[in-house]
Amino acid sequence: MARIVMKFGGTSVADVEKIKNVARRVKSEVDAGNQVAVVVSAMSGKTNELVGWADTISPLYDAREYDVIVSSGEQVTVGLLAMALQSMDVPARSWLGWQIPIKTDGAHAKARIKSIDTTELDKRLDGGEVVCVAGFQGIAPDNRITTLGRGGSDTSAVALAAALRADRCDIYTDVEGVYTTDPRIVPKARKIEKITYEEMLELASLGAKVLQTRSVEMAMNHRVRVQVRSTFSDAEGTLVVDEDEIVEQEVVSGIAYSRDEAKITLVKVADKPGTAATIFGPLAEANINVDMIVQNISENGNSTDMTFTVPRGEFKRALQVIEGNREKIAYQELLSTSDVTKVSIIGVGMRSHVGVARKMFETLSDKGINIQVISTSEIKVSVLIAEEYTELAVRALHTAYGLDAD
């Protein structure tokens, strides 16, 4: 007998028929003698709709009310799933975040899980009941409802698996596993059998939304065995594992892209100590994540241009903050666009190979794609390009690094 956590994403619970299908999958694990906790997302499209409603009323909304609104999608699916299981004679009940409770910090709309009290859940699981948990939500220290950031039900599932000391955490989704890149834009993408926590972390944080970044962090820290697999087939999925479990290692194992970027350039800021701090200090205070940064060489020794990127959702706020500090920063002109995509190559093999980045630059240049900003770390290289070239760039790189399926 094993204790497992099964997580089902939005497309897996998109309607009542699909929820019944999920219930059947859960039942088969129960029939095999396993203890099962299930985490569900909202029906696909639902969270976007809820976010849209909140935006319509107030673009600079109260994040506490935003959480009340957007957490509601999961309340519906978790209740429907418990009901579907009961109708198949599987004992089950639903749990909202606050009922468990899943305690988080107070960072509304992107809260972090602090603790999960498993006393009652342990009892129920030991007694043979299926525990159905609403993903994406928790409760803040002041007892208000929080959500964990978009895609957060992956994190709910991994955190629950860690707290319950589950043997496995299976993430069921609409693709058969983690691929070398998004299979929706590269039909030749290959399913990866095993991927390291580190590479998965980079892939996720650089845009592959198949797992939320924090869920990978959590899995890595608590050594949770995560498997990504399809709700709609029995194919083997992808295991996220330690590096020493991987036999053959590609130099570049995956390619990610993110349209969630916006670029800001400050023209002619002073080329002197303290300039970067006057720009990025106020952005940090406003809780805005700056990602890529490039400072040009000063032409005359007095002034320079500073370019950086922020998440699209924080673009307007970032512009407000910069304009609000115009006198202090003393830039001549502010240029901005959200017409950009970040494309990244990822692989732990990069540590021991040279020429990996050069191949990326040559491949893009062959396609006539201009690179606007570059950033690198030990196991990834990212470039910022015009959004219209996203698919072309990802496909060309996928071929160049030998990742295409036969």
Binding-site ranges for ligand ADP (CB under 6 A): 9-12, 41, 151, 173-175, 178-179, 181-184, 203, 208-210, 254
To Mg ion, the closest distance from the beta carbon of 25 in angstroms equals: 17
Letter string b/e over residues 318-343, b meaning 16 or more CB atoms within 10 A of that residue's CB: beebbeebeeebebeeeebebebbbb
* Residue 323: both structure tokens together: 């304009």
Q: Which amino acid is at 183?
A: P
From CA 385, how far away is CA 370, in angstroms rounded?
6
Among residues 4, 5, 8, 10, the one that binds ligand ASP under rule CB under 6 A: 10
Q: Between 155 and 372, whose beta carbon lies closer to ligand ASP?
A: 155
CB of 44 to ligand ASP, least distance (A): 8
Quick one: what does residue 208 bind among ligand ADP, Mg ion, ligand ASP, none, with the CB cut-off 5 to 8 Å set by partner type?
A: ligand ADP
Which tokens hold the place of 144?
Answer: 């208000």
47 binds, among ligand ADP, ligand ASP, Mg ion, none (CB under 5 to 8 A by kind): ligand ASP
- Examine residue 101 and say whether the peptide bond preceding it is cis (omega within 30 degrees of 0): yes
Question: Which partner, ligand ASP, Mg ion, ligand ADP, none, binds residue 304 by CB below 5 to 8 Å per kind?
Answer: none
Name the binder of 341 from Mg ion, ligand ADP, ligand ASP, none, CB < 5-8 A by kind.
none
C-beta atoms surrounding 207 within 10 Å: 21
Question: Does residue 47 bind ligand ASP (CB under 6 A)?
Answer: yes
- Separation of CA 270 from chain center: 37
Interaction with Mg ion in 5-24: which residues (CB under 5 A)?
A: 9
d(CA 23, CA 18): 9
Using the minimum distance from each CB to ligand ASP, give the nearer residue, 135 or 177. 135
Nearer to ligand ADP, 11 or 344 (CB): 11
- Tell me which residue of 10, 108, 32 sits closest to 65, measured CA to CA: 108
Residue 308 contacts which entry, ligand ADP, Mg ion, ligand ASP, none (Cβ below 5-8 A, type-dependent): none
DSSP 159-186: HHHHHTT-SEEEEEESSSS-BSS-TTT-
E strand or H helix at 398: helix 390-400
The yes or no reply on residue 8 touching ligand ASP (CB under 6 A) is: no
Residue with tokens 């897996």: 12
CA distances (Å), 397 to each of 189, 202, 292, in order? 11, 17, 21
φ and ψ of 92, to 5 deg: -155, 155
> Residue 138 touches which of ligand ADP, ligand ASP, Mg ion, none (CB < 5 to 8 A by kind)?
none
Stretch that binds Mg ion, among 4-12, 190-198, 249-257, 377-385 (CB under 5 A): 4-12
Which residue, 9 or 177, is less far from Mg ion as judged by CB? 9
Residue with smallest beta-carbon separation from Mg ion:
151
Q: Are 77 and 13 in contact (CB under 8 A)?
A: yes
One-letter amino acid of 50: L
Cβ 91 to Mg ion shortest distance, Å:
28
Q: Which of 73, 97, 151, 152 binds Mg ion (CB under 5 A)?
A: 151
**Calpha distance 137→139 (Å, rounded):** 7
Footprint of ligand ASP on residues 139-158 (CB under 6 A)? Answer: 150-154
**Least distance between ligand ADP and beta carbon 48 (Å):** 11
175 binds, among ligand ASP, ligand ADP, Mg ion, none (CB under 5 to 8 A by kind): ligand ADP
Half-sphere exposure of 394 (CA within 13 A, CB side): 27
Q: Which parts of this chain interact with ligand ASP (CB under 6 A)?
A: 9-10, 41-42, 47, 73, 135-136, 150-154
Q: Which parts of this chain interact with Mg ion (CB under 5 A)?
A: 9, 151
